[in-house]
């Protein structure tokens, strides 16, 4: 069973700990995990299943606005889980509007009420087998282990060049813990965090604006990203494009006045908001780990830890998993899988490595965007435009018909190699329940599915997912890709 280091347990004196270790030649633990998020906990639990003695150190540095939480990391507390719940709350608001078209009588005005519930050892290396931790009260604890896994994840970035950004702005770390509605909100950034939060705030009836410097959803297929933002605009979210904030000031009314430079108009503009949220990316939480003391190499530009295919750092017996590692997807499921496989290699006589290819994901904007594999741009870059075939279709979900909802952005495309086998390189889907749709197809693509195999698959009628199995029009043909019927 895992031995979790708890504050209730009296910490040993550091000097005594080192003395005992020197006398015995042994460390206290087989595995020490620094970070109690998804990847760290998955690794710790898996190691414990092999009967190993495991310690977990977890501490959340409060955000500049004072927000902190307990065990579980970003995903559970301020990421995927609350995000999906707020997304669902917004979808229910839309469903209430649709319900009237289906014959439900909703006589009273419907409004959303903002409601949030609130429910911590900070470690740094002193040598390659020893981590010193401080509790909130400042008490010191020293833990030694044969193997150490760093899984401290990342925290949202603040724009250092923007006056007032730190004093008056919040991030996704704070949004889900607000006691009152954020009101009129400006979200700066075009990441999936930005668009997801803007989407559900708009869905909850709030005046919401997204300020983006360049392209939305960088790293994702850009045709799909454009369709996502087009739908969000039609849904009510405002966009300030090619704009860069320069300062945030607090007015006597307590509203926040934001000044920004509009690159298209080459002039300064201002507006006031109740809340300003920064969603300009995330930085690895490595600063206090003292990595340089033990020789763990990091990327000087990103601050992320450099690891090999087995999640090993530059120091033997020190590993890293999750968002803190260079070149890995910043996704909860990949951190969990990598953590489990690492524990199995360390303690279970396994040699299986984490496979980071064809990892599916979904952006939970009002109209969801799910994808797996290569974007069209990446496929062209890797194989050349003459060597890929793109099958695509615009479609209308059945549930949109009665409510007469606009389906202009409901679209899917399958990126394939043009060779005779036509192996599927990527699948992209915008529409209801995109995550549920992509999850199943991801297995096929992971197994090397081809276009002929896909079109031989019988679709489930009537679903949106069945439209994937009916894709037959190529971009190269120039034909209208709108689905007109069965």
- Enzyme catalytic residues: 461
Burial class (CB in 10 A: 0-12, 13-18, 19+), 365: buried
Q: What is the DSSP-derived secondary structure letter of residue 274? A: S
Transcribe 47-58 into DSSP letters. Answer: HHHTT--EEEE-
Neighbouring C-beta atoms of residue 222, cutoff 10 Å: 15
The span from the CA of 416 to the CA of 5, in Å, is 50
Neighbouring C-beta atoms of residue 394, cutoff 10 Å: 18
> Which residues are registered as beta bridge partners of 241?
212
Classified as helix, coil or strand, 287 is helix
The span from the CA of 355 to the CA of 335, in Å, is 11
The span from the CA of 428 to the CA of 226, in Å, is 13
Q: What is the DSSP-derived secondary structure letter of residue 3? A: -
Q: What are phi and psi of 426, to 5 degrees?
A: -165, 150
- How many alpha carbons fall within 13 Å on the CB side of residue 5? 32
Q: What are phi and psi of 39, to 5 degrees?
A: -65, -45
The span from the CA of 263 to the CA of 267, in Å, is 7
Q: Are 185 and 208 in contact (CB under 8 A)?
A: yes
Q: Could you give the dihedral angle defined by the CA atoms of residues 82, 88, 94 and 96, in that order, rounded to the nearest 10 degrees?
A: -110
The span from the CA of 436 to the CA of 149, in Å, is 32
Q: Are 226 and 216 in contact (CB under 8 A)?
A: yes
Q: Which of 274-301 are b and which e, b meaning 16 or more Cβ less than 10 Å from the residue's Cβ? A: bbbbbbbebbbbbeebbbeebebebeee
Task: Taking the CA atoms of 219, 222, 224 and 230 in sequence, report the sign of the dihedral they define.
Answer: positive
Q: Tell me the pairing of strands 130-134 and 140-150.
A: antiparallel
Q: Are 413 and 374 in contact (CB under 8 A)?
A: no
Q: Are 129 and 145 in contact (CB under 8 A)?
A: yes
The span from the CA of 486 to the CA of 398, in Å, is 12
The span from the CA of 177 to the CA of 173, in Å, is 8
Q: What are phi and psi of 428, to 5 degrees?
A: -130, 135
């Amino acid at each position: 069973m895992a031995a979790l280091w708890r504050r209730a347990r009296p910490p040993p004196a550091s000097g005594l700990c080192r003395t005992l270790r020197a006398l015995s030649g042994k460390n206290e633990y087989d595995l020490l995990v620094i970070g109690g998020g998804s990847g760290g906990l998955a690794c710790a639990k898996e190691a414990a299943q092999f009967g190993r003695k495991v310690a977990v150190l977890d501490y959340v540095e409060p955000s500049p606005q004072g927000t902190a939480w307990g065990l579980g990391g970003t995903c559970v507390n301020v990421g995927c889980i609350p995000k999906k719940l707020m997304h669902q709350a917004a979808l229910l608001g839309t469903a209430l509007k649709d319900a009237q078209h289906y014959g439900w009588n909703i006589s009273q005005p419907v409004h959303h009420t903002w409601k949030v519930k609130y429910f911590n050892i900070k470690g740094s290396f002193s040598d390659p087998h020893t981590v010193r931790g401080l509790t909130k009260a400042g008490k010191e604890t020293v833990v030694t282990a044969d193997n150490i896994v760093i899984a401290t994840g990342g925290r949202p970035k603040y724009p250092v060049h923007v006056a007032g950004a730190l004093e008056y702005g919040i991030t996704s770390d704070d949004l889900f813990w607000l006691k009152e509605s954020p009101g009129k909100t400006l979200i700066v950034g075009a990441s999936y965090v930005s668009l997801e939060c803007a989407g559900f705030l708009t869905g909850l009836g709030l005046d919401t604006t997204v300020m983006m410097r360049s392209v939305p959803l960088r790293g994702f297929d850009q045709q799909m990203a454009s369709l996502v933002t087009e739908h969000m605009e039609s849904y009510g979210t405002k966009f300030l494009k090619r704009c860069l904030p320069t300062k945030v000031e607090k007015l006597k009314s307590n509203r926040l006045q934001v000044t920004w430079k509009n690159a298209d108009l080459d002039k300064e503009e201002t507006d006031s908001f109740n809340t300003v949220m920064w969603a300009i990316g995330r930085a690895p939480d490595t600063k206090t780990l003292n990595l340089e003391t033990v020789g763990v190499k990091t990327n000087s530009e990103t601050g992320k830890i450099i690891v090999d295919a087995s999640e090993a750092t530059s120091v033997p017996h020190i590993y890293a998993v999750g968002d803190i590692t260079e070149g890995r997807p910043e996704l909860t499921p990949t951190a969990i899988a990598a953590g489990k496989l690492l524990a199995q290699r360390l303690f279970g006589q396994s040699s299986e490595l984490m496979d980071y290819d064809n990892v599916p994901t979904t952006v939970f904007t009002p109209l969801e965007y799910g994808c797996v594999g290569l974007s069209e741009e990446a496929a062209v870059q890797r194989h050349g435009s003459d060597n890929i075939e793109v099958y695509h279709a615009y479609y209308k979900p059945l549930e949109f018909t009665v409510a007469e909802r606009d389906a202009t952005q409901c679209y899917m495309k399958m990126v394939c190699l043009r060779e005779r086998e036509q192996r599927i390189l990527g699948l992209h889907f915008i529409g209801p329940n995109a995550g549920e749709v992509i999850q199943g197809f991801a297995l096929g693509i992971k197994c090397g599915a081809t276009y002929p195999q896909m079109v031989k698959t019988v679709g489930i009628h009537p679903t949106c997912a069945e439209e994937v199995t009916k894709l037959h029009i190529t971009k190269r043909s120039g034909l209208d890709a709108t689905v007109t019927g069965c």
